Structure 1
Amino acid sequence: MLSRIAESLFWIGRYVERADDTARLLDVHLQILLEDPWAEEDLACRSLLAVMDRPAPPRDVVVGRDHVLDALAYDRVAPSAIAGALVAARENARRAREIVSTELWECLNTTWNQLPSHLRPARPHDFFAWVRERGATVAGIMESATSRDETRHFMVLGRSIERADMTARLLTTRALAGSAGPSWTTLLRSCGAHEAFLRTYRGSASDERAAGFLLLDRFFPRSIVSALDQAEQCLADLEPADDRSAADEARRHIGLVRMNLEYRPLADVLAGLPHEMEQVQRACSAASDAIRGRYFPTAPTTTWVGELL
């Protein structure tokens, strides 16, 4: 497979997952602001922008939910925003048109065409619900109409790395907000994990178990450990059996942070949750850079000097 095609597939998985997870995170954030009239909106919005690595306005400017929605939801240029991620996913699908299935292309293209009519609704929740629905449709097509070859491996690899990173950001918002933040039940619902959590623990719920479920549960696909494990498996499937040394850099970053979460007491992880989630985000970024260097090398620009001119 050509490296440019592989890179486009990788980023299709990342951008669709980014739009889905950002919609879930913003939905939780706005729900808290609406339910708690005493919440410090400016502080909460600045914390969210910091978690999402977006610059905040100067201190003398009050930051509200409208600014957060403009920056993280409706911006069609920034790939870190929901609309921008959907536009970028469609653009990458266009570049890999000869590889992606017709169904997947039509799904992403339809999403792109419908995007302007869904921006800035009266209820932001309607936009978030639409984004989650389109993300689920893309995931369903990937699972049902894509061969289990390099095409799927690159898309699932991108999706898994992005999912681990975004779940870490979601947990960071909960840790930084403290008692004023969303409950663990709200976070579970935002990830579609509440019913699975109740079935796992048979109704015996607690904050520690809820946090452990989103961090460590191997059977729930949105947990951090499950997403990291899926990324490791994709890397193993992509690398030839006779030469696994080249992928060791990406797998090392992912494996180290996964084992650091999985084999330590949960209480220790929860005691320093913001730091632990920052480590997950750093590992995902480092793994992405290693994958780019291994599979998507950029050809150096030829520079003519002296006699070579």
Structure 2
Amino acid sequence: MLSRIAESLFWIGRYVERADDTARILDVHVQMLSEDPWAAEDLACRSLLTVMDHPVEPGTGLVDRAHVLRVLAHDQLNPSSIAGSLVASRENARRAREIISTELWECLNTTRNQVSGSIRLARPHDYFSWVRERAAIVAGLMDSATSRDATWHFMLLGRSIERADMTARLVTTQTRLGHAGPGWTTLLRSCGAYESYLRVYRGIASDERAAGFLLLDRLFPRSIVCALESAEACLRELEPEGRHGVSDDARRELGSVRASLEFAPLEEVLEDLPAAMERVQRACSRASDAIKQRYFPSAAATTWVGEAL
């Protein structure tokens, strides 16, 4: 597979997952501000923008939910926003048009057209619901119409790394806001994890168990550990391991941070949860860089050997 095709597949997975998870985070945030008239809107919005890597400089005046929606939901030139991610996913699908299925291409193309249309004028909750539905359709088409070869593994690899990173950001928003945040039950619902959580713990709810579920549950696909394991499995399929340890830098980064979560007592992880989530985000970033250097060299030199390229 050409490196440019592999890179496009990787970023299709990442961008669609980014749009989905950003919609989930914003839905929780906007709902919290709407339901709590005493919420410190400026502090909550600044904290969220900081977690999402869009910090606001001090002294810039009041930061409200309209500013957050403009930056993280509707800015099509910002690849970190929902609209920007959906536009970017379509552009990557265009570059990999000969590889992906017709149904997946049509879905991404339609989504890109709709995000520039009347849906941007919808109420925030309706907009976020639409984004989650479109991301679910993309995921379903990926699962049902893609051979389990390198095409599948690169898309799943991108999706898994992005999911681990965004779940860490979701947990960080709750940790930073504390009692002023939406609460762990609301976060579980935003991830579609509430019913699974109740089945595991027989209906006994607590903040510590909810946090542990989102971090460590190996069977729930949106937990950090499950997403990291999925990414590692993709890397093993793309380049099987040798006999002498792990030589893949991306696998080393992901495996190291996964082990730091799995083998540390949960109480120790929860004591300094923001730092643990920052380690996850940094590991995902370094793994992404390592994958780029290994599979998507942007400035590969052309080497001539005799008369052959």
- Range into which the TM-score falls when normalised by the shorter chain: over 0.9
Query: What is the CA-CA distance between 1:55 and the residue it aligns to?
Result: 3.4
**Distance in 2 separating the partners of 1:74 and 1:271:** 36
- Cα distance change, pair 167–40 in 1 and its aligned pair in 2 (3 A): same
Equivalent-residue separation in structure 2 for 1:211 and 1:54 (angstroms): 25
State the partner residue of 1:259: 259
- Aligned equivalents of 2:265, 2:192: Cα separation in 1: 25
Structure 1, unaligned stretches of length 5 or more? 303-309
Aligned-partner Cα distance in 2 for 1:214–1:204: 16
- After superposition, residues 170-185 of structure 1 pair within 5 angstroms as 170-185=170-185
Distance in 2 between residues matched to 1:101 and 1:131, nearest whole Å: 21
Q: State the TM-score, normalizing by the size of structure 1.
A: 0.94
For residues 210-249 of structure 1, what are the structure 2 equivalents within 5 Å? 210-240=210-240, 248-249=248-249
- Pairing 1:288-299 to 2, within 5 Å after superposition: 288-299=288-299
Aligned pair count reads 302
Query: SS of 2:59's equivalent?
Result: coil
Distance in 2 between residues matched to 1:291 and 1:244, nearest whole Å: 20
Q: Partner amino acid for 1:116? A: S
The alpha-carbon distance between structure 1 residues 87 and 231, as it changes in their structure 2 partners (threshold 3 A), is: same
User: For the residues of structure 2 that align with 1:293 and 1:243, how far apart are their CA atoms?
Assistant: 23
Per the alignment, residue 79 of structure 2 pairs with: 79
In angstroms, what is the RMSD of aligned CA positions? 1.6
Conservation of the 8 A alpha-carbon contact between 2:246 and 2:252: no
> Which one-letter code corresponds to 1:134 in the other structure?
R
Could you list the runs of 5+ residues in structure 2 that have no partner in the other structure?
A: 303-309
Partner of 2:279: 279
Shift, 1:36, TM fit: 1.1
Question: What TM-score comes out, normalization by structure 2 length?
Answer: 0.94
User: Judging changes above 3 Å, is the alpha-carbon distance between structure 1 residues 245 and 292 closer, same or farther for their aligned structure 2 residues?
Assistant: farther
| Equivalent pair of 1:24/1:128 in contact (CA under 8 Å) | yes
Tell me which moved more, 245-254 or 98-107: 245-254
Structure 1 residue 58: Cα displacement = 4.4
What is the letter of the counterpart of residue 181 of structure 1?
A: G
Q: Counterpart amino acid of 1:18?
A: R
**Structure 1 segments of 4 or more deviating over 3 A?**
240-247
Deviation at 1:291, TM superposition (A): 0.2
| In structure 1, distance between residues paired with 2:74 and 2:272 | 33
Determine what percentage of the aligned residue pairs are the same residue.
Answer: 71
